[in-house]
Amino acid sequence: MKQTLIRNGTVLDIAADGTTATPIPQQDVLIKGNRIDAIQATGAVDARHFDRVIEANGQLIMPGLINTHAHVPMVLFRGLVEDMPIDRWFNEGIWPLENNLEPEDVYWGTLLGMIEMLESGVTTVADHYFHMHHSVEAIEKIGGRALLGWAIFGSLGQQAVNDTADWVEEINGSGTSRIRAWMAPHAPYTCDDDFLRATAKKANQIGVGLHIHASETKAQTEASLSARGITPIQVLEETGIFDQPTLLAHCCGVNERDIEIIAKYQKHEGGIAHAPKTYLKLGEDIAPVTAFREAGIAVGLATDGAASNNTMDLWEPLRLMSMLQKDRLGAEAMPIPQALHVATRSAAQVVGLADDLGAVEVGRLADLVLVDMSGIHHTPLHQIPASLVYNTRPTDVTTVLVDGDVVVENGRVTAIDRDEVVSQAKARMERLSRNRPDQRIQTYNP
Amino acid sequence: MKQTLIRNGTVLDIAADGTTATPIPQQDVLIKGNRIDAIQATGAVDARHFDRVIEANGQLIMPGLINTHAHVPMVLFRGLVEDMPIDRWFNEGIWPLENNLEPEDVYWGTLLGMIEMLESGVTTVADHYFHMHHSVEAIEKIGGRALLGWAIFGSLGQQAVNDTADWVEEINGSGTSRIRAWMAPHAPYTCDDDFLRATAKKANQIGVGLHIHASETKAQTEASLSARGITPIQVLEETGIFDQPTLLAHCCGVNERDIEIIAKYQKHEGGIAHAPKTYLKLGEDIAPVTAFREAGIAVGLATDGAASNNTMDLWEPLRLMSMLQKDRLGAEAMPIPQALHVATRSAAQVVGLADDLGAVEVGRLADLVLVDMSGIHHTPLHQIPASLVYNTRPTDVTTVLVDGDVVVENGRVTAIDRDEVVSQAKARMERLSRNRPDQRIQTYNP
């Protein structure tokens, strides 16, 4: 088994209960195969015993960040639809644009988004999109970790449930341990109850979880209540979605009873994805992250798609989450250790890898990020955790490992030709930006 | 006169009324002395006629950003006081820490903060702090532009008014055109009415404006109303502060009548400084920027001190401002051109340079920033203004000019030894982080 040594870093120790975040200086991290084998004071091992030695030189060693909900290929649409409320954003903007999407766009868009994520320290993404065989190909090539969902709408019928379930089984059975798949019905407002039930049943049969948009806005909750007397979260409960591990995207529109329901079904896998930048930009409600955590629900950070979020790094959502909880609840809400807990351990649970990711600990997968905190914007570095949350730039990330493999070195992905990806993205711009609102893939009318 | 050519850039044209932001590609910007002499299609001039040629290679050429309210040397305290409400933040955190401040700290702290600002495209800062002769020295050395205020509390009495007025006159009469000074009483809650009146009178005598904290929180407004029946803004009106150009920091706690008052006194110089990151972090109200603008009040972006804001770049406040207006008012609030207008033209008015800064226009001062928008996080670049607001990183800034002089090249300040500044900051850490709450420079009790 390949052995890797990360020498002389400051290990960030985030307590399992989220109450503390402690930097431990002058540590060596020893990796055997794809897992952390030991963490110890630097200097005790002979570097010659390792296949690879990474000199941390005092940089921070932290767990890879986890993007718990994205539509990665949508980087190809970024900046095209701005300053619009959610209904117009969907109906006049994104859903007409997505009508231009061709399968191969997903390959290049995924590579483009993965470059941005990996180079800023995001090692795992829970992606929810179309033509996902191309996503698999791209993520394998660049060396990331992913939990993928092939998005389906109710209008596609049972065949889509069966087809995507076959694909999920194929992925999970392929031995590609970095890439797993769950079922991915789009949302309660685009999937009728029978379709949700069929998807839940299928997920149960094949033993996987579900990744679904849920209660994105208060208006969705109100529309559901007014149309049928129950909330979108209650719809998910009634249709059996919650009987499997569930990754719920957004949940900005939940009421107190919804929170109780979600908490009741919280499992060792699954939770809520929180994408604060997107929902701020849309002027919608902000998910009650603190209430979720108090109820025992796992929450992770997310970017959503770059068509709404513009960027794919998680440093901005990390501090947005913290600051918005303070905005809603006061300055003592979401203290720094909690924020880091959301970004790491809690997010690992959301994507179903609570025991494998989210901490620099012996036995966990070696998905690790080295952060250079010597920049002017961190100086003087009185408090590492504070600076990590409120000062870090994506460009502070220098080295990224996934499964013990170095996938980013000197701030650049190692496995692919970046210039080719940029060229491919540019070549697609004109076609992808054609907007014919009468030709859209769905209509937003929750 | 020195002549400089910036060749083949995309000039960002922000309309004077803030309704549009238009990138104009393939432009040359010709600079004579410290002002923009011409802007024209690239290729028409002979580069040999210039003392210096800067190849923009398609980068964006935009006006230098303006930080309308800061306490620059407070970078030395960053990260030390977190997750606290404003009263504890002052009384248990910052004001005890500032008791450690020695005059020379201001020199090194200013250099440190100016590096971060200049390298991220901030060319002008309105600073409000102590021992400002050291600030002048630092800003002259590094080559920035500033409007400085030597902060005074009412407890210091008339002598402080006289002394700082003498200093203001000395600065404004020194011929150092990049550095100007205004009077800087701290706030209505730390300066009694007589002191404010004396300061206003002195400002009037010497013909300068005033830079003051005002109505920072709703609690300050309520305390003032309950103690004396008028708001902090009304106090400023009654004491004659508004008879001079006034730079008001924060104004998060204003009521509708306050907005009318501020609008009534809006002059060609002055306005409101908006520091969204600080006030989000403190869990306080967010300034009603859109209402200010609708009332005809100039608003600029600000960082406040890094003890609350952590960082000194303006890209984060730019998008925070936009997103928070959407959060409060809906997705159509603060559209992209307006946000850019706040950051540039409007901010120029706030710091009293409405005709000289804030636009890439013939006749204006050549305070210019080149932004490289070729990064992965901008790709594909469908809409430059959108990407500028929502995607730009501080590290995208490559070249910065102040008064036509290149002060940042390849992303690094040119005039000083960065390593020495970092060493000096580190050497001060231990002394500056001693916290004895019984020894504080003031008590927060508005």
What tens digit of pLDDT does each residue of B99-112 get?
999 999 999 999 99
Chain-chain contact of A312 with B377 (C-beta, under 8 angstroms): yes
Residue A177 has a pLDDT of 85
Contact A387 B78 (CB under 8 A): yes
Interatomic CA distance for residues A115 and B288, integer angstroms: 38
- Under-50 pLDDT residues of chain A: none
Considering only CA atoms, give the Rg of chain A: 21
Which residues 28-67 of chain B have a CB within 8 Å of chain A?
none
Asked if A102 reaches chain B (Cβ–Cβ under 8 Å), the answer is: no
Architecture, CATH, for domain A65-350: Alpha-Beta Barrel (3.20)
Confidence of residue B161 (pLDDT cuts 50, 70, 90): very high
Over residues A273-295, the pLDDT tens digits come to 999 999 999 999 999 999 999 99
Partner B contacted by A2 (CB < 8 A) = no
**Which is nearest to A250 in space by CA: A186, A312, A194?**
A186
8 Å CB contact of A382 and B79: yes
Look up residue A80 and give its amino acid: L
Q: What mean pLDDT, rounded, does chain B reach?
A: 97
CA distance A245 to A208: 7
Q: Using the beta-carbon criterion (under 8 Å), do B327 and A286 form an inter-chain contact? A: yes
Q: pLDDT tier at B142 (50, 70, 90 boundaries)?
A: very high
Task: Please tell me the distance in Å from B44's CA to the nearest CA on chain A.
Answer: 29
| Residue of chain A whose alpha carbon sits nearest to that of B87 | A331
Domain boundaries, chain A: 3-62+363-413, 65-350
Which contiguous run of DSSP H or E holds residue A62? Answer: strand A60-63
CB contact under 8 A, B390 and A429: no
Alpha-carbon separation of residue A250 from A68, A254, A292, A309, B357 (angstroms): 10, 9, 12, 13, 42
Establish if B335 touches chain A: CB-CB under 8 angstroms. Answer: yes
Q: Which two tokens stand for residue B209?
A: 């404006």
Q: How many helices (H) and strands (E) does chain A have?
A: 17, 17
Interhelix angle A157-172/A193-206, nearest 10 degrees: 20
More confident residue, B311 or A439: B311
Q: Give the contacts of A41 (CB within 8 A, at least 6 positions apart).
A: A26, A27, A28
pTM for the full predicted model: 0.98
For B341-398, write each residue's pLDDT tens digit: 999 999 999 999 999 999 999 999 999 999 999 999 999 999 999 999 999 999 999 9
Top residue of B377, B430, B431, B444 to mutate, by most chain A CBs within 10 Å, is B377
Contact B76, B105 (CB under 8 A): yes
List Cβ neighbours of B129 (8 Å cut-off, separation of 6 or more).
Answer: B71, B72, B73, B74, B106, B135, B149, B150, B151
Q: What angle do CA A294, A297, A300 make, to 5 degrees?
A: 110
Q: Which residues of A touch B80 (CB under 8 A)?
A: 382-383
* Strands B246-250 and B210-214, bridge-based pairing: parallel
Identity at A434, one-letter amino acid code: R
User: Of the candidates B377, B126, B303, B394, which has an alpha carbon nearest to the alpha carbon of residue A303?
Assistant: B377
Kindly state the helix (H) or strand (E) to which residue B180 belongs, with its residue range: strand B179-185
Listed in sequence order, the residues at least 6 apart from A182 whose beta carbon sits closer than 8 Å to its beta carbon are A147, A148, A149, A168, A203, A208, A209, A210, A211, A245, A247, A352
Sheet (strand B246-250) strand order = B65-70, B122-129, B145-152, B179-185, B210-214, B246-250, B271-274, B299-301
Nearest to A82 among B82, B284, B386 (CB): B386
Q: Is the ipTM of this complex over 0.85?
A: yes
pLDDT-above-70 percentage for chain B: 100
C-alpha to C-alpha distances, A321 to A7, A113, A273, B80, nearest whole angstrom:
32, 21, 11, 20
Q: Closest CB to A386: pick one of B82, B327, B394.
A: B82
Nearest CA to B289 among B53, B18, B6, B16? Answer: B18
Neighbours of A86 (CB within 10 A): 23
- pLDDT number for residue A436: 85
Structure tokens at A300: 């992770």
Put simply, whether A218 touches B (Cβ < 8 Å) is no
pLDDT tens profile B181-194: 999 999 999 999 99
Contacts of A428 in chain B (CB under 8 A): 380
Note the pLDDT of residue B436: 85
Contacts of B219 in chain A (CB under 8 A): none
The predicted pLDDT at position B177 comes to: 85
Residue B175 above 80 pLDDT? Answer: no
3-state secondary structure of A228: helix
Choose, out of A60, A83, A108, A316, the residue to mutate when testing the contact with B (most B CBs < 10 Å).
Answer: A83
What is the pLDDT at residue A438?
84
**CA A239 – CA A197 distance, rounded (Å):** 5
CA distances from A133 to A140, A164, A207, A351 (A): 11, 11, 20, 19
CB A224 within 8 A of CB A231: yes
Tokens at B326, concatenated: 């959407």
Sequence-separated (6 or more) residues with CB below 8 Å from residue B312: A377, B67, B70, B72, B75, B113, B116, B117, B120, B122, B303, B306
Interface test with A, best of B327, B398, B434 (most A CBs within 10 A): B327
pLDDT tier for residue B212 given thresholds of 50, 70 and 90 = very high
Q: Which two tokens stand for residue A139?
A: 């993520």
Q: What is the DSSP letter of A220?
A: H
Alpha carbons A290 and A183: distance in angstroms, whole number: 28
Q: Which CATH number fits domain B3-62+363-413: 2.30.40.10, 3.30.70.100, 3.40.50.720, 3.40.50.12500?
A: 2.30.40.10
Assess A84–B contact: CB distance below 8 Å, yes or no: yes
CA-based nearest residue in chain A for residue B418: A376
Which A positions 406-445 lie with beta carbon below 8 A of chain B? 418, 422, 425-426, 428-429, 433
Pick from A161, A296, A178, A383: which is nearest to B310 by CA?
A383
Cβ(A298)–Cβ(A266) below 8 Å: yes
How remote is the C-alpha of B291 from its chain's centroid?
A: 20
pLDDT in tens, B58-70: 999 999 999 999 9
What 3-state DSSP class applies to B15? coil
Q: What is the 3-state secondary structure (H, E, C) of A132-173?
A: HHHHHHHHHHHCCEEEEEEEECHHHHHHHHHHHHHHHHHHHC
Specify the pairing of strand B122-129 against strand B145-152.
Answer: parallel
